[in-house]
């Protein structure tokens, strides 16, 4: 028996993208400003190429100036840093992102920290992380995946999460930690769990909000989840499944969707949940950056 509402991330992202497109057209008409997004990809990782293509396509459909820089997988770090420096100084560019993961010889921290904080639309710069942690989100860039999760949580529970228990599974810098900061800022009581957490299922059982960002297929089961909880599944796992006698690769999340749907109030599917929101939040951050650069306020 399914009771949970299926949170349609695709539809939510499409509505948000429509509003971004409208605001972008108004910004161009009124102020002659077109948000510019530069995506840097190094090497030929097939998954990264798909992500970059989607980002470029979405940026163009929102009416942005969109550029892609493709560097060979053996690119020297000095060349990557030189390109970032040029983009930092390019007034037509308001958002810069370097697609991760990077080839092994490149220092991820040196590269992400070279992007000027005011164009760091991925929210990975220590300045933006610090602002988020300190609750100064008015001019910070928040990482796109947790920002998208937060919008979906707000849709279900409102902006003030006072009295709600939230459990975040995973403590990465990209998802788990910024997610916890956002939930805390919305007044939730937040527990961050990870691979060293004891009795994880018992911790999750106390949560009104569960955000799973682990990378382990179907890990969260119905008997972990409090009836009526809102469950956000960030995980993207490629697994082999046999459907109608045919074995194929499919995407699945960290939450056993069919099982948890029996107890949760609302749940995001994979695919079609958090993923589409992530790309759209990148566009929201880039538009915001263009407005802030012009002194127009976020
Ligand atoms: P990560 O590998 O950096 O972090 C995983 C976290 O899970 C770690 O903090 C680790 O301690 C924790 N963990 C590992 N095993 C655990 C266990 N058994 N119990 C509890 N915690 C455990 O990963 P990430 O970058 O945070 O990504 C997590 C997942 O989310 C991945 O599947 C990734 O593909 C997906 N992801 C999706 C989007 C999206 O847009 N939908 C964006 C980013 C990441």
Q: Which residues pair with 239 in a beta bridge?
A: 250
Q: Indicate the Cα dihedral angle 139, 144, 146, 152, nearest 10°.
A: 100
Domains of the chain in start order, with CATH, are 30-116 (3.40.50.10860), 144-276 (3.40.50.720)
The mean of the pLDDT values for the chain is: 96
Query: Strand, coil or helix: what is 208?
Result: coil
Give yes or no for residue 214 CB within 6 A of ligand 1.
yes
Among the options 23, 99, 120, 218, which is catalytic? Answer: 99
Question: Where would I find the H helices in the chain?
Answer: 9-31, 46-61, 77-88, 108-112, 126-133, 144-157, 176-185, 200-204, 257-260, 274-293
Task: Please report the sign of the dihedral spanned by the C-alpha atoms of residue 145, residue 147, residue 149, residue 155.
Answer: negative
C-alpha–C-alpha distance, residues 77 and 37, integer Å:
21
Query: Which residue among 143, 147, 234 has the greatest number of ligand 1 atoms within 8 angstroms of its CB, and so is best to mutate?
Result: 234
pTM of the complete model: 0.96
Look up residue 44 and give its two tokens: 């030929």
Rounded to an integer, the average pLDDT of 8-28 is 98
In this prediction, residue 242 carries a pLDDT of 87
Each residue's pLDDT tens digit, 100-130? 999 999 999 999 999 999 999 999 999 999 9
Query: Strand, coil or helix: what is 124?
Result: coil
Look up residue 282 and give its two tokens: 């990148």
C-alpha–C-alpha distance, residues 108 and 263, integer Å:
40
CA of 274 to the centre of ligand 1 (A): 13
Tokens 């409102």 sit on residue: 158
Percentage of the chain lying above the pLDDT 90 cut: 95
């Amino acid at each position: 028996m399914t009771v949970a509402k299926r949170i349609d991330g695709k539809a939510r992202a499409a509505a948000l993208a429509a509003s971004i497109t409208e605001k972008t057209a108004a910004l161009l008409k009124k102020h002659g400003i077109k948000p510019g997004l530069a995506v840097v990809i190094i090497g030929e990782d097939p998954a990264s190429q798909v992500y970059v293509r989607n980002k470029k396509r979405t940026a163009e459909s929102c009416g942005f100036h969109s550029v892609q820089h493709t560097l060979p997988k053996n690119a020297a770090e000095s060349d990557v840093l030189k390109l970032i420096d040029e983009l930092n100084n390019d007034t037509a560019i308001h958002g810069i992102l370097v697609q991760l993961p990077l080839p092994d010889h490149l220092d991820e921290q040196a590269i992400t920290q070279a992007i000027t904080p005011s164009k760091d639309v991925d929210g990975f710069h220590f300045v933006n992380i610090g602002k988020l942690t300190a609750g100064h989100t008015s001019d910070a860039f928040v990482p796109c995946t947790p920002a998208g999760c937060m919008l979906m949580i707000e849709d279900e529970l409102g902006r003030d999460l006072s009295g709600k228990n939230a459990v975040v599974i995973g403590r990465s810098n990209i998802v788990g930690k910024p997610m916890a900061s956002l939930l805390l800022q919305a007044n939730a009581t937040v527990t961050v769990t990870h691979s060293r957490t004891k009795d994880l299922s018992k911790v999750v059982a106390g949560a009104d909000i569960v955000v799973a960002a682990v990378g382990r297929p179907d890990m969260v089961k119905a008997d972990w989840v409090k009836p009526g909880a809102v469950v956000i599944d960030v995980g993207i796992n490629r697994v082999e499944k046999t459907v109608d006698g045919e074995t194929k690769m499919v995407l699945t999340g960290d939450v056993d969707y069919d099982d948890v749907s029996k107890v949760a109030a609302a749940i995001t599917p994979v695919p079609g949940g958090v993923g589409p929101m992530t790309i759209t939040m990148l566009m929201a951050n880039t538009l915001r950056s263009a407005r802030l650069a012009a002194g127009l306020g976020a």
